[in-house]
Chain A
């Protein structure tokens, strides 16, 4: 009998529970929504409705995200300890500060406060983009091999996934415009490229990841292409995209818990 620790896990698996992938999803969608909201806001009248709905989306996401984040803490009552320090080398710290900034801005953006609202919208848009992408840094800059190996891709993947989700929700809210479909297709295309890149890196993926990839990449892209001529498919495309986006986050967190 041989007994060594060669096959024992080298690092501890993440202790995060379901709130975290959900937070990644909500934050991603809200952040991307804020980007859309800002672009629409400054795009003027044609985009007024889009701006309104996207702002609401961002704001609602801005309310839900901290709740999810806090409820995952081992000691939720101590959430505010997050604000004791500002630590550039900690993606978690940066993320929390981004979330704080984003949440305030996204909520302020709803208020009729004139020029201040413009600033809020802009801030929400920029911080929203970071919110949607930093989660890739958060898990990438860790000791979990499968995450760290793809630290250069994960922010892009999560950004694309967040954008796709935001677009899909807006579509479900009725904004089934060409712009949205184009953004959806662009996001799906980016995800498809990333799938290829990951495959080339020799990443083996479980069924969860496979499912997420299929839904977010090829399925979403094909549905959206088809929807150009068959608009009724837009809703299906949106739902598939949303499912893919959520599953992507779940799959990546779960991948981190598996030995790799």
Chain B
């Protein structure tokens, strides 16, 4: 099976949230609460156990560009970007999961087996993108399945299918990477100089299977400049634990030896 991927292009996104809703419909995801945020048009605010696609609204006055070519002098800038689990090449959640509930599928996606997860919550703290979360009440951890069921049946993920503007493209990873690079070039050629590709390729995450094209600083979109897969900390951690263990054992023996009973 070929590794599949998303390319979510915020320069084509109209912020309609059809992806967010389609995901919920297909996967029967429960409500995420009825709080009003006051943050632009975003009220679900983040990915989580009950929001697997999340449309972000980045609003700033007068930055000088719209999502198309011509810079304008005085327009507000309003970008929409649909976020999703990154299906990391080195996935912190998968690495950290003690039960093996999280697996890599034949499509290269990172998938939580709901019948295995025991809700230990470790994936919650090992995901460098703040994606997966434990659902109160249910107790298990949930996130985007990459529509594993649909992919198996030869269908596109529900979110990509619902997207009216082809802001969410789905295909093989190679294809998406090529399209993403070409898209950024096109945008640059049109004068959209702040268009960037976010792919986390040069980080310890080793690349992601959900690529993003957006304008400006990814950190404005809550995408970390340098995501770190927590497994990189293992060496330092275990070394420290070994030193500490040895120190403790040595110390205890020494103390008993020296001071006696």
By a beta-carbon cutoff of 8 Å, the part of chain A in contact with chain B is 1-6, 8-16, 32, 35-36, 39-40, 43, 46-47, 50, 72-76, 78-79, 81-82, 84-85, 87, 89-93, 95-96, 125-126, 129-130, 132-134, 136-144, 147-148, 151-156, 158-160, 162-163, 177-180, 182-183, 186, 190, 256
**B201 interface residue (CB < 8 Å to A):** no
User: Would B237 and A156 count as touching, CB distance under 8 A?
Assistant: no
Contacts of B240 in A (CB 8 A): 133, 136-137, 140, 151-156
**Which one of B119, B128, B133, B241 lies within 8 Å of A137 (CB-CB)?**
B241
Cross-chain contact A4 with B220 (CB below 8 angstroms): yes
Contact A143 B48 (CB under 8 A): no
Complexed CA–CA distance, A93 and B120 (Å): 11
Contact B234 A78 (CB under 8 A): no
- Taking a contact as CB atoms under 8 Å apart, the answer to whether A132 and B118 are in contact is no
Per the CB 8 Å criterion, the residue count for chain B at the interface is 76
Interface contact B128-A143, CB-CB below 8 Å: yes
Task: State whether A6 touches B132 (Cβ < 8 A).
Answer: no
Report the bound CA distance from A129 to B58 in whole Å: 49
Q: Are A78 and B249 in contact (CB under 8 A)?
A: no
Binds A, one of B7-15, B138-146, B151-159: B138-146
Q: Which residue of B lies closest to A20 (CB)?
A: B121
**Bound Cα distance from A39 to B260, whole angstroms:** 11
Query: Is B256 in contact with A81, judged by CB distance below 8 angstroms?
Result: no
Docked CA distance A87–B96 (Å): 8
Contact A15 B133 (CB under 8 A): yes
- Select which of B60, B135, B245, B259 is within 8 A of A179 by beta carbon: B259
Whether A78 lies near B61 (C-beta < 8 A) is: no
Query: Which residue of A is nearest B120, CB measured?
Result: A73
| Residue from A5, A125, A143 in contact with B222 in the complex, judged by beta carbons closer than 8 Å | A5
State the CA gap A93–B101 with chains docked (Å): 12
Q: 9 A-B residue contacts at CB 8 Å?
A: A9-B130, A10-B129, A82-B118, A84-B116, A87-B97, A129-B248, A140-B236, A142-B126, A152-B240
Task: List the 6 shortest-distance A-B pairs measured between CB atoms, nearest first.
Answer: A74-B119, A74-B139, A46-B261, A159-B244, A137-B237, A78-B118
On chain A, the residues within 8 Å of B259 by CB distance are 177-179, 182
**In contact, B125 and A12 (Cβ under 8 angstroms):** yes
15 more CB-based (< 8 A) A-B contacts, given A141-B230, A147-B125, A151-B233: A8-B45, A10-B222, A12-B124, A12-B133, A13-B124, A40-B256, A81-B116, A91-B237, A92-B97, A143-B130, A151-B240, A156-B240, A156-B244, A159-B241, A163-B252
B118 touches A74 (CB 8 A): yes
Q: Do residues B237 and A74 form an inter-chain contact, with CB atoms below 8 A?
A: no
Whether B258 lies near A182 (C-beta < 8 A) is yes
In the complex, which residues of chain B have a beta carbon less than 8 angstroms from the beta carbon of A155?
A: 237-238, 240-241, 243-244
A96 to B246, CA, bound (A): 20
B39 within 8 A of A: yes
Decide: A141 and B255 in contact? CB cutoff 8 A: no
- For the complex, give the distance between the alpha carbons of A129 and B259 in Å: 21
Tell which of A32, A87, A140 touches B100, judged by Cβ atoms closer than 8 Å.
Answer: A87
Contact present for A141 and B248 (CB under 8 Å): no
Determine whether B127 belongs to the interface, using a CB cutoff of 8 Å to chain A.
yes
* Chain B residue contacts of A15, Cβ below 8 A: 121, 124, 133-134
Q: How far is the CB of B94 from chain A (nearest CB, A)?
A: 9
- Please pick, from A46, A79, A137, A142, the residue contacting B260 in the complex, using a CB distance under 8 A: A46
Interfacial chain B residues near A43, Cβ < 8 Å = 256-257, 261
Which chain B positions have C-beta within 8 A of A182? 255, 258-259
Q: Are B256 and A47 within 8 A (Cβ)? A: yes
Say whether, besides A2-B59, A74-B138, A85 and B98 are in contact (CB < 8 Å): yes
Closest to A16 in B: B121
Contact of A136 among B101, B237, B261 (CB under 8 A): B237
Residues from chain A with Cβ under 8 Å of B221 in the complex = 4-5
- Residues on A with C-beta less than 8 A from B46 are 8-9
Tell whether, in the assembled complex, residue B241 and residue A14 are in contact, meaning their CB atoms are under 8 Å apart. Answer: no
Pick the contact of A73 from B119, B133, B251, B252 — CB < 8 Å? Answer: B119
Name the one of B61, B220, B241 contacting A6, with C-beta atoms under 8 angstroms: B220
